[in-house]
A = this chain, B = another copy of it.
């Protein structure tokens, strides 16, 4: 087997075997800014004539999530779960309500607010999730 070693090091350093499917799925996630559902990943693989079982896709993305390589997200109004590569930068998505495209925003206006809130509420605040909704240039 050749050509599927792009993520060999990453996989091994996380205690995972280097397999063709894992490489392919990481590759798909790396090549888009969009969080993807399991069946979107499954379909992309099908289009590349890769035979894979959908339960394998579920298992692979969940394994990646447990290793912190992938982030799992639920979006408002969507029953399916989305997965995106963990690029280890903090940011949020701005989402077009018409075409459903999601664009990455690498700035975050919430750091000061969270500090403030921590004092005000007595919570130990560990994170937050922000989604911006609207219509993109094409759809508006």
Contact = CB atoms under 8 A, between A and B. Distances in A.
A69 interface: no
Interface in A45-83: 72-79, 81
A30 interface: no
28 contacts: A72-B77, A74-B78, A74-B79, A79-B81, A94-B121, A96-B123, A97-B126, A103-B121, A105-B117, A109-B109, A110-B130, A117-B132, A122-B136, A123-B132, A123-B136, A123-B140, A124-B134, A124-B135, A124-B140, A125-B133, A125-B134, A126-B134, A127-B134, A128-B132, A129-B129, A129-B130, A129-B131, A130-B130
Nearest to A139: B124
